[in-house]
Chains A and B, each alone.
Chain A
Amino acid sequence: MPLYHTEDQAMLAESVTGFMADEGGIKKQLRHYRDMNCQDGFGHTLWKQFAEMGLTGMLAAEADGGLAMGHVEAGIVLREIGRNLTPSPFLTTSVMGVTALSGGSEEIRGRWLPGVLAGDSVLAVAVDEGPKHRPERIACKAEKAGNGFRLLGRKAFVVQGASADAIIVAARTSGSDTDNDGITLFAVPKDAAGINHENLRLVDSAMASNVTFDNVELDGDCVIGEVDGGRELLNKVIRAGRIGAAAELTGVGQGAFDITTAYLKTRKQFGQLIGEFQALQHRAAHLYSELEIAEAAVIKAQQLLDGNSDKADLMVSVAKAKAAKACNLSVREGVQMHGGVGMTDEYDIGLYMKRDRSLAEFMGDQYYHAERVAQLSGY
């Protein structure tokens, strides 16, 4: 399969690009909700519009009312979300959440998917338990209690966790913290007793919650997939999150790059446009190369994932690490090349820098993924 979009994918990209620029722009969404101190960190009206466009159920099966598309298509949406810094529950809900639910029973899919597809509900995913991404280690416990389970423990950095109608929690139902087996996924409803949120604003204005589960009673219907056998499904969810974040990062990097090169063509110093200085030209050209390469790695990983290739796991880590490196360079160069105005809240470039930080951390930073590349390569 060639490494560019098919005709259908190009058409999707065209409509999503226009939609996100019109409706998901920085002023209309990010600044608007940030400045009103919105505790969700995103707008529900836009989420409803996502549903009307058919985006909320892109990855869901046709039998579930979805479009049965793949990661290439989801990545098209995420790139535009990134380019516009659109605050949206799309990645956690429609990419990771739907991937999780798709591995569950008809009953649990029927319980949550219709709301997601309609743009009425939102999902969050709770995997990590500390400040760094360590999905290999899961201590949060779900003990058998009657017909159901009792959830006890703590999850960190649960993006939009306090706003979610259900939190998809990876919990340990047997074994010890670092065991591969003994993991079960649960869809924990928002109103279950014993959930406590420490809802925090992050540097990029998104909301994330440190969630404690204090003996939360769950009935057996909350289980997604198999009890104790959830690791494989969890890995699938995590991979979806990683490649999704990578796609969004390429959009953030591109957005920052575009406004920076535009600035180089308008700002004058020493009687000339600063874009005429070779010192800046070479850095911009280098950055262009890095962004192109990151984009290639991302689409390759998306295609491998969609094709269920056994090379997908390695390439997803390559893509996440490379996208993070390239995007980080883009926002750093962006702020620097803007000079003093780059430090102001009025200019958008700083917003890109903040978003890059959050996304780089989400589902593993470049160091985590470079380590995985080494391990998966056998060293």
Chain B
Amino acid sequence: MSDLEAFRAEIRAWLEENCPAEMREPVRDEGDVCWGGRNFQFKNEAQKTWLERCVAKGYTVPDWPKPYGGAGMSPAEAKIWREECARIGARPPLSSFGIWMLGPALLKFGTEEQKVHYLNQIARGEIRWCQGYSEPGSGSDLVSLQTFGEDKGDHWVVNGQKIWTSYADKADWIFCLVRTDKTNKYQGISFLLFDMTTPGVTTKPIKLISGNSPFCETFFDNVVVPKDQIVGELNRGWDVAKYLLGHEREMISGAGGGDRLNAIGAVVARNGLEDPILRADLAMFDVDALAYACMGEKFLDEAKVGRAHPAQPNMMKYAGTELNKRRHELLMSAGGATALEWDSERTNGGTPSRSWLRTKANSIEGGTSEVMLNVISKRILELPGA
């Protein structure tokens, strides 16, 4: 047996032994996702046990180094971990902006002290993070942001407003883009970390078309941020911000696994599929979805060893989110009138329609599809003037 085969056997046995049966059921709704954080309420004992067991082994962040709370897996080993989890349908033990976004940025730009401190908190699910990028006047044109941090010697005083801050009302800390030099557009932004309980931070939930309110307006009124809570250099936060966006886009693309890679025809057909034209559309969709799943695998294989184009996450995000919107349009058509039910019990509170509406944000959040196409044109195709 090769080393990797032995590793696979070891992971398979561990999962068999340690992943509770309830954690092998598909995620039905938001409540099934374990976000961690100071105020997180576990849905059941199994969710808590699953998290604790994974934390003990470093499996919440399998490819992070061990000193930072990971399991130190190589790319090939991490792929085996994903494949074995997918094989039994194991849910992610922990989902968080810390794992997907801040963690990779800290691994690249953080000081050793910051890495040990913040990464371990993330890996153990102790601190839940939110992302303070967008502002009312700065969406796609993010670099125009105005939230200002005034230098007060050993700290900054931050004033301004963020918007669309996902889970700001549930998060413990925020990673935030703050202007620290008004005279330089790109090299005048710093990447700051601070506690959401700091005096002067307030949040106001915003209701989505899906009826849920997962994001907020976030206000900063003379918020004091100590100087050691900066990631990267002063005024060079844009580099950190862009690097993080690459990981955010990779996450939103769904390349890492889960239902964004699935075909749907067979599932739909279980409830009857009488319309031949819908069946044809589903078949064409499945071709695209199954091909995209291959792309997800290829992208991760290449990204982990530095072979992917650095701008490739933009392509993944574009293709993956447009596909996911198409998936839910088809699921709505297949569901017929039942899928229109907004709060009935048999739809688990309108899951089909609420999920469908939620997918419309996929091609907006983390950078819109149009912005992704702009980036591909410029950085990959090197088209003029892009």
- The answer on a CB contact under 8 Å between A276 and B291 is no
Shortest distance in angstroms between B354's beta carbon and chain A's nearest beta carbon? Answer: 26
Is A4 touching B376 in the complex (CB atoms < 8 A)? no
For chain B, residues 265 to 284, give those with C-beta under 8 angstroms from any C-beta of chain A.
Answer: 265-266, 268-269, 273, 279-280, 282-284
Q: Does A19 contact B (CB under 8 A)?
A: no
Determine whether A319 belongs to the interface, using a CB cutoff of 8 Å to chain B. yes
- Among B273, B287, B290, B385, contact of A366 (Cβ-Cβ < 8 Å): B287
Which residue of the partner chain, among A3, A4, A284, contacts B383 with CB atoms under 8 Å? A284
The reply to whether B385 and A273 contact each other, CB–CB distance below 8 Å, is yes
- Give the distance in Å from the alpha carbon of A288 to the alpha carbon of B374 in the complex: 12
Contact digits for A14-26, partner B, Cβ 8 Å, 1 yes 0 no: 0000000000000
Complexed CA–CA distance, A296 and B76 (Å): 18
| Residues A343-379 near B (CB distance < 8 A) | 366, 369-371, 373-374, 377-379
- Given contacts A264-B383, A284-B377, A3 and B287 within 8 Å (CB-CB): no
Name the distance in Å between A307's Cβ and chain B's nearest Cβ. 14
Q: Which of B282, B291, B295 contacts A374 (CB 8 A)?
A: B282
Nearest CB on B from A310, distance (A): 15
A373 touches B286 (CB 8 A): yes
CB–CB A300/B298 < 8 A = yes
User: Which of A292, A300, A322 meets B297, CB within 8 Å?
Assistant: A300
A285 with B384: in contact, given A297-B291, A322-B287 (CB under 8 Å)? no
CA of A319 to CA of B288, assembled, Å: 9
Is B383 touching A275 in the complex (CB atoms < 8 A)? yes
Contacts of A3 on B, CB cut-off 8 Å?
294, 297-298, 301-302
Counted as pairs of residues, one from A and one from B, with CB atoms less than 8 Å apart, the total is 141
B319 at the interface (CB under 8 A from A): yes
Is A203's CB within 8 Å of the partner chain B? no
Would you call A111 an interface residue if the criterion is a C-beta within 8 Å of the partner chain's C-beta atoms?
no
Which residues from B are CB-within-8-Å of A318? 286-287, 290-291, 294
A2 within 8 A of B: yes
A319 CA to B287 CA in the complex, in Å? 8
Among B283, B380, B385, the residue within 8 A (CB) of A373 is: B283
Q: Is A37 an interface residue (CB 8 A)?
A: no
Q: Given A289-B319, A370-B284, are A261 and B298 neighbors across the interface (CB < 8 Å)? A: no
Q: In whole Å, how far is A255's beta carbon from the nearest beta carbon of chain B?
A: 15
* A296/B381 in contact, CB under 8 A: no
Q: Is B386's CB within 8 Å of the partner chain A?
A: yes
Q: Which residue of A lies closest to B265 (CB)?
A: A379
> Count of chain B residues with Cβ under 8 Å from any Cβ of A?
43
**B288: which of A261, A278, A322 is its contact (CB, 8 Å)?**
A322
Contact in complex: A296, B374 (CB < 8 Å): no
Which residue from chain B places its CB closest to the CB of A298 in the assembled complex? B294
Nearest neighbor of A319 in chain B, beta-carbon distance: B291
Q: Which residues of A contact B171 (CB under 8 A)?
A: none
Within 8 A of A (CB), among B74-89: 76, 79
Which chain B residues lie closer than 8 Å to A293 at the CB level? 288, 291-292, 294-295, 319
What is the 8 Å Cβ interface bit string for chain A, positions 265-278, against chain B (1 contact, 0 not)?
A: 10000001101101
B381 touches A2 (CB 8 A): no
B157 lies within 8 A of chain A by Cβ: no
Q: Which residues of A contact B (CB under 8 A)?
A: 2-4, 261, 264-265, 272-273, 275-276, 278, 281-282, 284-286, 288-290, 292-294, 296-297, 299-300, 314-315, 317-319, 321-322, 325, 366, 369-371, 373-374, 377-379
Given A275-B386, A282-B370, A285-B318: 8 more A-B contacts, CB < 8 Å:
A3-B301, A4-B302, A261-B381, A281-B374, A288-B376, A297-B294, A373-B290, A374-B279
Q: What are 24 pairs between A and B in contact, CB < 8 Å? A: A2-B76, A261-B383, A272-B384, A278-B377, A281-B373, A285-B318, A285-B374, A285-B377, A285-B381, A286-B373, A290-B319, A293-B288, A293-B294, A299-B294, A314-B290, A315-B290, A317-B287, A318-B287, A325-B287, A370-B283, A370-B287, A371-B283, A373-B265, A374-B265
B residues near A, CB below 8 A?
Answer: 76, 79, 263, 265-266, 268-269, 273, 279-280, 282-284, 286-288, 290-292, 294-295, 297-299, 301-302, 305, 307, 315, 318-319, 370, 372-374, 376-377, 380-381, 383-386
